[in-house]
Structure 1
Amino acid sequence: IQETFQFNSQLKSLTIKQSPLSDLSPELFRSFPNLQQLDLRGTTLKPLDFVVKANLSALRSLQLSDNATTVINERLFQTLPALIYLDLGNNPLTCDCSNAGFIQWVKSNNQTQVDNAFQFTCSFPLTKQGTKLLDFDFQSCWIDFSFLCFISSTCLVVLTLLPSFIYHFLRWQLVYAFHLFLAFLYDSRKRGKGVPHLYDAFISYNTKDEAWVYGELLPALEGEQGWRLCLHHRDFQPGKPIIENIIDAIYGSRKTICVISQSEWCSREIQMASFRLFDEQKDVLILLFLEEIPAQQLSPYYRVRKLVKKLTYLSWSKAGRHTGVFWQVLWTEQFKKSW
């Protein structure tokens, strides 16, 4: 075909109808740059990309009805500045975002008459078959999916890093707040009911210090001074959650004695007793140090440094041979600001 028209540079009108072309080369139309009318009806054309590359700047009328075109690139009309008439009837057009630019162009352009455009119907997808092409809502096609992907990936990264950050830097503060909340709930239930103190003191200690508790503390307080002591190995209710047992022991005792050594010590008990101390404004917590512990080793997460500065504390290592004085001071602390 190209050889047929290569010497027709002044051709202004070209009709090729009812021919099974399916596709055309843009080289064909470069032989006649003055072409004004092009009729390609019934040629089973599918893509129209050849128009974009054909340099038909003088084309005024384009007839493409009864073809097999499904998608129309809006760039086609940018290369046809003189176009005033367009016929695309009876093409199996697709109603999706691939035709969004064409639909927008049909609705907004004031130069080109698109013949019977409001009667164009959708052939694809099947769910929209028979509906009007111009009724397709193309606004959703302009969503910036790259921005959405950026936001989604950012949120995913933050949600992944946030638990790690909380665990590394804030886990003890959260545990502390949780225990305070449990103590608050317990105190709210018991407030005003006049709950009696079942014990003189609740002894909190690490199992590594059990020998000292049973060998020194119990004989002195229960044997000699007649204290009623609560110890978790002996007095906690079996089958009851450990937190509830601790809360019951703290609020059921006049004092809470925390035995502290280089071993792990009574973190949860200090948290609960601290809340009771702040809530009741009573000196209900006694810190008993079995050995000297440098201040930097007292974990700030349990606020022991602040408690050591504010509360009375006893040191077994400083008592030396004067253990009688040590137990007498402890006896005095039991009655201090507690009744």
Structure 2
Amino acid sequence: MSSSTLFLVIVFGGLAYSKPSVKNTFSTSKHAASPCKITNSTEYNVEVDCTDRNLTDIPILSMYATSLNISNNNIESITDGKVFRNLSSLHTLDLSDNPLELLPYNNIFKELTNLWKLYIRNTYLYKQKDLVLDLLLHGLNNLKHLSFTFKLEPSNLKTTPKLCSHKFNSQPFGKIDRLHSIESLEIDSALLKFETNASITYQTRSLRVINGFVCYYNSFMKEQFDYMPFIEEFFLESPFFIDIISDNFISAQNLLTELVIDGPDLTSTNAVDLIQNVTTSVSRSYNLTRLMLNDIYNHKKLEVKRFYSIYNLVSLTSLEMLGLVGNGLCFKGQNSGDRFPQSLKNLVIQDNCMTSYGINHHILEVNLQLETIDASSQNNCVLKKKKKRKHQFHAHRFNETDRVYSLQKLILTRSIDELNFGNQHDYFPNLTFLDLSLNNKVPSNTIPNFFCSRRHNLRFLNMSNSHITRIEKLAFVNCSNLEVLDLSFNLLGCIDCHICDKLVNLVSLKALNLSSNHIKCSNLHMLNSMIKIERIDMSNNVLQSWDISILNARSLTHINLSRNRIQTLSKGNMEELDTIAKSNSIEIDLSENTLLCTCETKDFLQWMLITRVSIIRRDEYLCTFSNGSVTSLNNLGFIVKSLKSQCVPSKTALIVGMNVLSVCLLTSMVLVFKFRWRIQHWYYKRRFILTLNYVEMVQMFTYDVFISYSADDFEIARNETMEELESRRGIKACIHERDFQPGEYIAENISRAIHSSKKIILFISKNFLGSEWCAYELDIALMEEMHSGRRVIMVIMVEDIPNANLSSGLRHIVDTYTYLEYPKNRTEYDINVFWNKCAEFIQEN
């Protein structure tokens, strides 16, 4: 072979490929069904990926292989000491997540003279009693990154590991002095040195200590790490074994910039003291920029000591990020935030027990320099709050003495207390991201007028799942920069069709989510000012038509109208959608609506067949014919063709029909004029009844009755309903514990169940009045009765309750309609009469 025609030959399990024709996949001779992949290949650089291939041996590699990832396989041992021969070009090797128990440490890696990164994570090598780490790494003079951690078998995790000093009489797995040149070291805690060698100084800059549960240390002392004076990043993962960290352990690391201790859930009852312990230890680490103490609380200790302080960190003038995630913290007192340095920019306090009032007034007010706060999921509390804090907002004109915050991003979800919007005069000129979702205690269920007046640069706002029923007129007046607004899973249907008036100033909005709000109508001009809108979601409402003009929304790409009651789109809707589709792609979702396949909707069906607009999952839509039969639209062309033939009358029939129609119209006009007074009287007398009959005729129900009750009354409401109504009287009831859809939001389940039920029975008790979800079910039931125009609610008083204790909506029902009292003596006759009355109400037209 001449030098001008030189080819690189790569051999994989006996299969040879010339370099110009190397394929992206190959198979070993023993594992032909599990091909490895070449992820990158040049003339002298071959990167091989063999992850998740069920391999039990190392495949044969080319001498030019530079990287091998063979993690997540079934390799239990490497008995061939020559498997890595002639692989001096290999610089990265990953053997992690294999059930590896045996390595021939005397010569296994000695050929890999240029190896730079070696990863052996989560193996069973702790079983190899004669393993000597120094011998295993012999010859790896260029190694800079090493990961060597253990993983106990699941059956062994049930037993508590022993102290390393009790389990091993000497240094476990031999000396580790060959690691001194490693710059990035991830090591199992069982491999830490018992004693130091003054002649060996590690060059390690990044140290990650992982608890593999082989053995543990109950303390960290300065002397244990004297041989590592250059550590800049220190990570402790799953350190359940620590009871105490000495005060000088961390402060002795003069170069330390990042310290992370990550649980989860230290089992020691002293675990919560570790926060005080660590923050004390770092108080002189002046180069520290990032401190994370996550998931190290335990409930057993917190039940005794719920409030505890963080040591003063003011002297850490380089600290920019502080994380205290998942510790059940509940700061107490106005000086809680005084312990943070003015250099602190980012505070992460997810999964704790803090109130929005405390965050606003105990942290933010004394840390105006903070730029981001992530306080999501503030319901991790051992003890329930006994008092609910309230804060009154007073009008205050902005002036030079008002607080100006540097905050750019705030996440506060699942607050345990009433949501606190802060003071009206607080000014947030840099705030662009605000997530207040999943807070079901918004004051008066209202977004206040001053909401945007001090947050005019907001770009993202999420207030979904917050029971919002009202938006004040000026709430969004100064939100002209808002780009994303999520108000889904609220009760904005109470605003009726005027919701567009509240959103008129959102001229920069790109994404709007109003799904699951029980909205029953839309306004033509809703999107007129939103010329940048790209996505709008109004799914899972009760819209019967889409009345919003999109003529000005030329950037619109996605409309979600699924799970409504829409039967067709108007001609104007279709024309505007087609206009937008000419300039950019647009999609619409109409799934799970009550679409009709009739002569009146023929044009709409024809449009769906030919339009350039993308109809999401169109073939899965269901359509109802005029005779009541239902079909899917997977053969839409045939349906349109059939309707065309059925809906076009013959010429003769058309002439006859027009003549007959003319005669009928003339006769009707004469009769109406002659009997106009009698007709008018009859019309006003019968209008209400006719309306009820029409609604009942067109509405289809899944259940005969929806049962609303407190969980504490399940014996009467649930058990007797199933026995008396379902088993004995054949009535199909909706009971939330049995019939709600798993995985969906509770609010969505309630809304859908009530819409799908013919009647609603409320079992009223003191427990019912004290339940937030029962109150939510009552609100939805009242809205359903108001919307349908028929009587759907019956009240059953489980116990005597004074009228003054009832809500206004419930009091109106009790005062207006006859209600039932649950029999107190519970005789068989009274019980039978009671349930017969319930059945009569459910079955009445």
TM-score, normalised by the number of residues in structure 2:
0.20
TM-score, normalised by the number of residues in structure 1:
0.47
More strand, by proportion? 2
Q: Which structure is larger by alpha-carbon Rg, 1 or 2? A: 1
